[in-house]
Structure formats: C-alpha cells, structure tokens
Amino acid sequence: MSTSVQSVDRAITILEILAREGSTRVTDLAVELDVHKSTASRLLAALEQGGLVEQNGSRGRYRLGFGVVRLAGAATAQLDLSRASRPVCLRLAEAVGETVNIAVPQDGDTVNITQVRGPSAISGHNWVGQRTPSHATSSGKVLLAFGTLPLPPRLERYTAATITDADRLELDLIRRRGWASTVEELEAGLNAVAAPIVGGDGSVVAAVSASGPSYRLTPDRLPEVGELLAEGAREIGRQLGHYR
C-alpha cells in the first residue's frame, strides 16, 4: 500500500473512531491505529484544517467537526433529489422514449446522479457518476444559464458542432424559454435537451435531461421534449419544497 493511500485509510479510520467514541485523545488514537503519536497528530491536524475534526476545549481530546455535517448535508440533499426525481424520470423516459438523467453541479462541471432508460434507448452507456463539460451538454447549459455554474474560462471543443464562443451559448434564451439543448456538441450523433430543477430555496440546483441518437431525437423534437422536461422539472421542484 502506498504512503498516500495508507494515510487516507488511517484518516478514514480516525473519523470512524470519533463517530463511535464521541471524542478521544491523540494517544488513544495512536494506539488503535498502531502508529506513532506524531503520525496520529499529523493526521488529526490535516483533518482539523479541513474542518472534519476539532479539539474539545482544553482537554486535549478530539471530536468530529462541523465539516462532517456539511458533507453529510450535501450527500443527503443529493439522495433526496434522487428519490424525489425517480418517479418523474420514469414517466419522462416512457413519454420521450429516451434516456433521462438528473445532473448536479460539481467543481465547474456537471455530474449525473440518476439515470432511467426509455423504451427506445439502444445505448448501454451509463452516465451516472460521470463528469461532463457544462458548455457541451444540455444540463450544463441550464446550470450555466441560471448561474448555478460559472462560465469556464475556456470552452473546449469535443466535436465539430461544439460551441466554443460563450456568446453563442444563448444563455439568455435558455432562461427565457426554460430549457436548453445540444445537437451533437458532446458526441457526434447524440442530441439532448434539459430543463432546470428549482430547490426549496428558489435557486436552480440541478437539471433533468433527455438524450438520444440524433436520427430519433431530432432538432424538430427538441422544443416538444423541452416543454415535457420543464413540466417534469417543476414537479420535482414541488417535491423538493418549491412551487407550493
């Protein structure tokens, strides 16, 4: 095992110990980890810097920090979104006949957290967990248009149709009509359309999209599918506490 992987493994073990014990001393952690006290102190210092652990007053004991709560809250929010959107995604996939995804922002890109294949879907590609560029995907364009993601400083080209000029992304138009589309901009032969999902605080937190082969999900179909997705997105928003 490499030193870096071993350190990560030990850091995870520290978090698990603190979750079990509530709080503990550096010496006790070192014994349980079977490492020198200085190694345990160094790991605790790194976790403390990230807000994942904190010292319990002046007694020299450590406990879990509020950074863990922040991470847990983010994970819970994504789980809530996945649960709330699943029935809607199933209906949309059936109605559109194509693959439907839910995407959220992550470090400047979009990440798909839920996928449902429609009855006409022929691709076995699994988009869940995959990062995709914001400017070349319909979900990413939605998140850009509503300010959920920042515009990348450089728009990389993926196909001959990829838009690399920010002014041509038409973000104002996306906001006005309530959906975004891509025509072979990420992959040749793949088209997609997406609509914004509004969270309980009134901000756009995710996007629901449908994607399919360009010969079936043709540009002429995109407005119709866009309206279906926008309606589905509003239903998901109601589940999340918006549009009451």
Is 70 exceeded by the pLDDT of residue 112?
Answer: yes
Quick one: pLDDT at residue 33? 87
Quick one: pLDDT at residue 99? 93
210 CB-near residues (< 8 Å, 6+ apart): 92, 93, 96, 98, 99, 100, 101, 118, 192, 193, 194, 217, 225, 228, 229
> Contact at 8 Å (CB) between 71 and 64?
no
Range from 17-31, 108-122, 199-213 carrying the lowest mean pLDDT: 108-122
Q: Which CATH number is 48's domain given?
A: 1.10.10.10
Q: In the β-sheet with 180-183, what is the strand arrangement from edge to edge?
A: 131-132, 109-116, 99-106, 204-213, 190-198, 180-183
What residues make up the domain containing 222? 77-239
Same domain, 81 and 104: yes
Write down the pTM of the prediction.
Answer: 0.69
Q: Could you tell me the pLDDT band of residue 45, with boundaries at 50, 70 and 90? A: confident
Amino acid (1-letter code) at residue 204: V
How far is Cα 15 from Cα 221, in angstroms, rounded to an integer? Answer: 50
Same domain, 121 and 178: yes
